[in-house]
Amino acid sequence: MKRSERLVRNTLLMLGGLLVLHAGASRLYAVDDHAIPMERATPAQLATLRDFTAIIVEGDFALEVVQGAGYSVEFTPPSPGEGRFYAVVHDNTLLLGGSGNVPGSRARVTLPVLNKLNAGRVEALSVSGFDADELSLRTETVQRVTLRNNRVREWQIRSERVVDLQIDHASISAGKVDLSGRATLTVID
């Protein structure tokens, strides 16, 4: 077999493999778009959300996540008539998103146990009050991530383009922080 034939064969095999890998990854991370409403979720709809231990979020608002005895999801926009905010629970994961919201829009989630939090593009992210053995935090494009008053024995933080990662003394001294990616780390009071 000639060198050029091997090169063409290997290129086709590699492209086929990438196609299979892309299809598999798309199915793994797929969300049923029919489950995501197109208008803003009402407070009554948000009050029904229960039984989640993970959060996936992306939107034009700030998110505060706190540990509490029960479940609650709240959204506070400065301009109630503008923008979109949705929240649904799928496979024990709270999916949050929004677009067209004015600056200053905020979401607050309270839950008893948080195992994993994946934040895409959000204005700011705050996690506070959690007591856990392990917590996984993945962030993409977030200006500021603040961790306060947590007693987590092992943080697994994967960061892409976080401008400011702030961890208070209580959160950092309770255990170990495994940090990878790009972030500016600041220890705060």
> Is the pTM here over 0.85, yes or no?
no
Question: Which amino acid belongs to residue 31?
Answer: V
- pLDDT bin (cut points 50, 70, 90) of residue 185 is confident
Query: Which tokens belong to 84?
Result: 């979109």
For the cut 80, the answer to whether the pLDDT of residue 4 exceeds it is no
What domain count does the chain have?
A: 2
pLDDT tens digits, one per residue of 48-88: 999 999 999 999 999 999 999 999 999 998 887 788 999 99
Claim to verify: residue 73 and residue 110 sit in the same structural domain: yes
Specify the pLDDT at position 27.
Answer: 53
Give the span between the Cα atoms of 96 and 86, in whole angstroms: 6
Domain that holds residue 70: 34-188
- pLDDT bin (cut points 50, 70, 90) of residue 26 is low
Of residues 16 and 46, which shows the higher confidence score? 46
Claim to verify: residue 7 and residue 53 sit in the same structural domain: no
69 and 27 Cβ atoms separated by less than 8 Å: no
Specify the pLDDT at position 34.
Answer: 43
- Show Cβ contacts of residue 88 under 8 Å, excluding neighbours closer than 6 positions: 35, 36, 37, 49, 94, 95
- Show Cβ contacts of residue 76 under 8 Å, excluding neighbours closer than 6 positions: 105, 106, 107, 108
Specify the pLDDT at position 70.
Answer: 96
Claim to verify: residue 44 and residue 130 sit in the same structural domain: yes
Of residues 9 and 173, which shows the higher confidence score? 173
Claim to verify: residue 60 and residue 88 sit in the same structural domain: yes
Claim to verify: residue 22 and residue 80 sit in the same structural domain: no
Of residues 1 and 71, which shows the higher confidence score? 71
Query: Which tokens belong to 66?
Result: 């706190």
Claim to verify: residue 93 and residue 12 sit in the same structural domain: no
Specify the pLDDT at position 6.
Answer: 77
Give the span between the Cα atoms of 168 and 185, in whole angstroms: 11
Among candidate residues 100, 104, 137, the one with its CA nearest the CA of residue 123: 104
For the cut 50, the answer to whether the pLDDT of residue 33 exceeds it is no
For the cut 80, the answer to whether the pLDDT of residue 7 exceeds it is no
How many whole angstroms from its chain centre is CA 147? Answer: 14
Claim to verify: residue 8 and residue 49 sit in the same structural domain: no
Among candidate residues 108, 115, 119, the one with its CA nearest the CA of residue 130: 115
Claim to verify: residue 71 and residue 24 sit in the same structural domain: no
Specify the pLDDT at position 24.
Answer: 57
